[in-house]
């Protein structure tokens, strides 16, 4: 059986398409909840959620909280299993206005997820969170102002 160059190209594309589909999961981890103005001058935190079928290695990933003109980076590590939460905490010394956008960046600095600008000026137990957990339609309506549920499923 002789392969033509067209057949060879098709085989090449199919092979690398399958490799891409079977590669490490990168797009299944989302910013699920964020506390940008913690009560009693507490520490800001961001909760991630893995909505995919595979564990994701977070080594080298970062969470960036941008509260202009200030910005803070939280280095991540370890792995997040499917259906699980991962809480990244900022520094106790961080003082934020409560108006901010949160970014999730992979080890190459590529933005994997981003929240809309959030406003949480009250230093209350309320946070911005996705409902249901992991919902990602890239619409502002993915997030609700709700009672915080750090590391737990969100409820509205």
**Domain layout of the chain by residue ranges:** 25-147
Average pLDDT over residues 65-81: 95
- This prediction has a pTM of 0.81
Q: Spell out the CATH class of 25-147.
A: mainly beta
Tens digit of each residue's pLDDT (9 = 90 or more) over 104-116: 999 999 999 999 9
d(CA 48, CA 80): 9
CA distances for 126 relative to 86, 120, 122, angstroms: 19, 8, 9
In angstroms, the CA 24 to CA 61 distance is 14
């Amino acid at each position: 059986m002789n392969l033509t160059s067209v057949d060879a190209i098709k085989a090449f594309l199919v092979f690398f398409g399958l490799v891409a589909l079977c590669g490490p999961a990168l797009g299944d981890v989302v910013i699920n909840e964020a506390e940008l103005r913690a009560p009693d001058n507490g520490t800001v935190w961001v909760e991630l959620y893995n909505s995919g079928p595979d564990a994701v290695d977070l080594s080298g990933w970062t969470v960036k909280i941008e509260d202009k003109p200030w910005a803070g980076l939280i280095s991540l590590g370890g792995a997040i299993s499917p259906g699980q939460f991962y809480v990244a905490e900022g520094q106790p010394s961080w003082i934020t206005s409560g108006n901010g956008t949160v970014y999730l960046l992979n080890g190459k600095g590529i933005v994997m997820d981003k929240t809309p600008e959030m406003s949480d000026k009250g230093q209350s137990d309320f946070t911005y969170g996705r409902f249901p957990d992991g919902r990602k339609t890239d619409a502002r309506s993915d997030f609700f102002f709700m009672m915080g549920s750090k590391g737990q499923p969100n409820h509205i």
